[in-house]
Amino acid sequence: MLFILKNNALDDYKPHLDHSKKIKEMGLNDKTIAILSIIASKYWISDEDRENFENKLKENELKYQKELHEKYNPDNIFKNKNITESNNIKGNTSLIKYEEDKWYKKIVNNIRRILKIKN
C-alpha cells in the first residue's frame, strides 16, 4: 500500500492542513479520509483501538445498510406504487369535448385567410 501511495504522490505537493482541527473540520475529500482510515487501522493505532475502530466501522455499515433497506425496501416500493396508481385513477377522468367548426365556417375562415381579413 505504501508503494502505491509513493508512486502516485506528487513530488512538489505542499500540504496546507491545520493539525489543531479534527479531520471532519479540515474539509478533506472522502477518498482522502478513507485512505487515512486504512493507514490508521493498519499502522498507527494499537490492537485495542483497532478493535474499537473496526467495531465502529461495522456499526456504521449496519446503520447505512438499514437506511438503504428502509429507503429501497421492495415491499414498501410496491405498496407506495399501488397507492400512487390508485390516486391517479381516482383523478379527473372526464372526457374533453372537442367541437369542430361547421363546414360553412371553415369556408368563411379560408376566404378571410386568403384575403387577409381579420375577424
Q: Which whole-number Å values give the CA distances from 11 to 4, 5, 7, 8, 14, in the listed order?
A: 14, 12, 10, 9, 9
Query: Given this model, what pLDDT does residue 84 score?
Result: 58
Say if residue 27's pLDDT is above 80: yes
**Rounded Cα gap, residues 104 and 91, in angstroms:** 38
Say if residue 42's pLDDT is above 70: yes
Tell me, what amino acid is at 67?
E
For residues 38 and 1, the answer to whether their CB atoms sit within 8 Å is yes
The owner of cell 508512486 is: 7
Question: How confident is residue 34, by pLDDT bands cut at 50, 70 and 90?
Answer: confident
Mean pLDDT in residue range 68-75: 81
Select, from the ranges 6-20, 42-56, 85-99, the one with the highest average predicted confidence (pLDDT).
Answer: 42-56
Mean pLDDT in residue range 73-100: 66
